Amino acid sequence: MKSLGLAFLAGLVSALGFAPLGLWPLTLLAFAFLVWLIEGAPSLRAALARGWWFGVGQFVLGLNWIATAFTYQAAMPAWLGWVAVVLLSLYLAIYPAAAAGLAWRWAIGGTSASAGETPPPLAPGRPVVLVLLLAAAWIVTEWLRATLFTGFAWNPAGVAWVGVAGVAGLSAYVGTYGLGAVTLLAGGALFLLARRRWLAGAAIAAPILAFALLLLPIRVTAPGGRPLIHIVQPNIGQQNKWDRGYERENFERFVRLTGPPAPEPRLLLWPEAATPDFLAYDAAARRRLAALLGPRDLLLLGGVEPVFDAAGMGIAAYNSVYVLTPDDRLTGRYDKAHLVPYGEYLPMRPILSAIGLSRLAPGDLDFRDGPGPRTLDLGAFGRAGVQVCYEIIFSGQVVDEANRPDFIFNPSNDAWFGAWGPPQHLAQARLRAIEEGLPVIRATPTGVSAVIGADGLVEQSLPLGTAGAIDSRLPGPFPPTLFARYGNLLPFAFALLLVAAAIAVRRKAR
């Protein structure tokens, strides 16, 4: 039981490396401790349990912001939010448990002891094999976590590196899941060095350090000819967003922060669900918004596209982003494809609604999913890929490969994500920029709105809980990265390479 408690504490410590704290050295130490716990497991069952409790600790702390979402609706008690965090963590911990079990089974299983006994000494190469196989298994299990049951890719291990110049750049070559393996390898190197396996530890750490130096980003300032963008962050809290009594005040905030037309064309960017009006059906609402634009401006904003049945009754909706012109025309639309279970739709609605559960987002209609990544032609402003809110966290699923955009627009509503959710969301958007070699522009109602360069560095941002606007030149894209060309084939190829290295080490040790 003591080892399980230590695994849980190590998981808690590992989450301190994620935003907003960013204490990434603690994450590496926590993973080094996890390797030690797995190495000392007397059986496969013990290894699985240690990996599972590590995951529970990491997710309970890292996902604490989910509890805040329950405070913004009245259908369910707020305390249920913490129940949801714990239950979700108990499920998500299955994936690190599986990685721990796979690594133990193939690295140590042949030398296991009976239950309750101390495991026998390992062969000289076994600790190195364990580290390599754990890193490979982590790639597979994190990909599964992001895929099964619609997926929940929040806080992959690699996101701890996002503030570390150079190391995060590896995601352009091995993707986010491959970067997670690098996190495990770095922790494993610390474990080996602590075990005085100097040569093995150095052999794993040296390539990471070398690539970190080679991939140090070079700041590229957007030239003066790049389009001008204007991001609006109105600081409208979730408690007021859908209140009809605040509708006029909310709109006036957008008007004030949008400001008068500029001497040159501007691409105006408003957050997710910025307007409560059904723009496709409300000409007056379109004219009211178009009046804010200069003659060559465009407005990208979030809204809701209703779906009606033959009798004219609303039966569903899309979470959409519209392109509005100065002459009040809608010239493009993107419908969110990766919806949030329990947030935008209620799974098994007849059963769950009968026991008192409801969606966290207000409204009686469930959202429908759109067709997937799509590039919108914005004329002089280039081509925009759109990823609404939490869609941006899914590595390899954010760009229309047949029509590569010049940048990704990520409108979001993080107002109900507490203090930890928004900076974590920003960190994951930065990884998408590095992976794809594309700038990411974020517009949120309460923060963090940001201009992220194609190198993943934040050029400008507005902090949480502030009203303001960002005027910036649209950063330019990089040529397609290796990951942009081959996607998640690369982390799986990396996993195979790690497995091959583990087999080679084992044979040499024999």
Shortest CA distance to 413 belongs to which of 336, 473, 489?
A: 336
Q: pLDDT digit string (tens) for 129-175?
A: 999 999 999 999 999 999 999 999 999 999 999 988 789 999 999 99
Q: Which amino acid, residue 71?
A: T
Q: pLDDT grade, residue 242 (50/70/90)?
A: low
Consecutive H or E run containing 380: none
Mean pLDDT, the chain, rounded, equals: 89
Q: pLDDT digit string (tens) for 94-130?
A: 999 999 999 999 998 855 444 444 544 455 578 999 9
| Beta strand residue intervals within 181-312, DSSP E | 228-233, 266-269, 298-308
- Residues with a catalytic annotation lie at 272, 336, 389
Q: Between these two residues, 345 and 24, which has the higher pLDDT value?
A: 24
- Cα–Cα distance measured from residue 109 to residue 101, given in angstroms and rounded to the nearest whole number: 10
| Cα angle for residues 233, 238, 242 (degrees, 5° grid) | 100
Q: pLDDT digit string (tens) for 172-224?
A: 999 999 999 999 999 999 999 999 999 989 989 988 888 777 766 655 554 55
- CATH architecture under which domain 228-475 falls: 4-Layer Sandwich (3.60)
Please report, rounded to a whole number, the percentage of residues in the chain having pLDDT higher than 90.
73
Specify the range with the lowest mean pLDDT, choosing from 16-30, 297-311, 358-372, 485-499.
358-372
Q: Are 196 and 461 in contact (CB under 8 A)?
A: no
- Cα–Cα distance measured from residue 327 to residue 329, given in angstroms and rounded to the nearest whole number: 6
pLDDT score recorded for residue 348: 47
Report the SS3 class of residue 264.
Answer: coil
- Cα–Cα distance measured from residue 230 to residue 264, given in angstroms and rounded to the nearest whole number: 12
Q: What is the pTM of this model?
A: 0.92
Domain boundaries, the chain: 2-217+488-509, 228-475
pLDDT score recorded for residue 243: 67
Those residues with Cβ within 8 angstroms of residue 168's Cβ, 6 or more apart along the chain or in another chain = 158, 161, 162, 179, 430, 431, 434, 456
pLDDT score recorded for residue 115: 46
pLDDT score recorded for residue 239: 66
pLDDT score recorded for residue 361: 59
Q: pLDDT digit string (tens) for 36-85?
A: 999 999 999 999 999 999 999 999 999 999 988 777 665 557 677 889 89
Report, as an integer, the average pLDDT of 232-259: 86
- Cα–Cα distance measured from residue 95 to residue 440, given in angstroms and rounded to the nearest whole number: 29
Instruction: Tell me the DSSP string of 21-35.
Output: T--HHHHHHHHHHHH
Q: pLDDT grade, residue 415 (50/70/90)?
A: confident
pLDDT > 70? residue 510: no
Those residues with Cβ within 8 angstroms of residue 36's Cβ, 6 or more apart along the chain or in another chain = 191, 194
Report, as an integer, the average pLDDT of 430-448: 96
- Cα–Cα distance measured from residue 469 to residue 477, given in angstroms and rounded to the nearest whole number: 23
Q: pLDDT digit string (tens) for 345-360?
A: 656 455 545 444 555 5
The β-bridge relationship of strands 298-308 and 314-324 is antiparallel
Report, as an integer, the average pLDDT of 342-347: 64
pLDDT > 90? residue 487: yes
Specify the range with the lowest mean pLDDT, choosing from 237-241, 394-398, 457-461, 491-495.
237-241
Shortest CA distance to 362 belongs to which of 67, 75, 68?
A: 75
